[in-house]
Amino acid sequence: MNSNKFEIDQSSDEQHAPTVRPREYSGTQFVLGIFLFASVMAGGLGIYSYFHAKPFRPLQRAIHLAYPKSYPRVEGGQQKMHRDTPRILRVTMRVPFDPEAMDERPQVDTLVVRLAELARKHLDLSNFAVFEVHLVQMQPEQKAHKLTVTQDLAKPQ
C-alpha cells in the first residue's frame, strides 16, 4: 500500500504550465520600427501638403514678391463635409498695420484689390465662387489684430 493517500499527477501539470515564448522583436527593433513608422507618416504628410498647395504656389510666390515678409498662405477648394458649399479661394497674410483700425481702411481696400488682381493673373478664378482675404497683424505679447474681407466672384465687379 501506498503511504501517501494523495498522489500528484505530474502529467496534468505539464499540460497547464504556462509556456514562455521567446520575444519576436527585441526592444531595439521595436523602437526602430516606431521611428520608421513616424518617418513614413511624416513623409506622407509632406507629400500630401505639397500636392494640396501646388495649384496655388504661383499666386503665393507673387504675393510674397509683392509684399515681402507677409508670409502669405493660399488655399482653395470646398469643404468635403458640405458638398453644396461654394468653392473658396482664401489668402491669409501678415500686414504691418492694424487691419481693424478704421483709419487704415483705404490701405486695406487697396491691398484687397491688389490681391484680387494677382489672383486673376495667376489663377483661373472661374473655379471659385468666393475670394476671402484674411489680414493679420501680429504683435508681441498682445492679441493679434485680424480682419476678413470677402468678395463674391460670381458677381461682376
Cα radius of gyration rounded to whole Å, the chain: 31
All cell numbers assigned to 75: 488655399
Distance (Å, rounded) from C-alpha 153 to C-alpha 146? 22
Given this model, what pLDDT does residue 7 score?
61
Residuewise pLDDT in 10s, the chain (157 residues): 555 566 655 555 556 667 777 778 788 999 999 999 999 999 999 999 899 889 999 999 999 999 999 999 999 888 776 677 888 999 999 999 999 999 999 999 999 999 999 999 999 988 899 999 999 999 888 899 999 999 988 765 5
Count the Cβ atoms, other than its own, within 10 Å of residue 60. 19
pTM, two decimals, is 0.72
Specify the pairing of strand 88-94 against strand 73-77: antiparallel
125 three-class SS: helix
Cell numbers 521611428: residue: 35
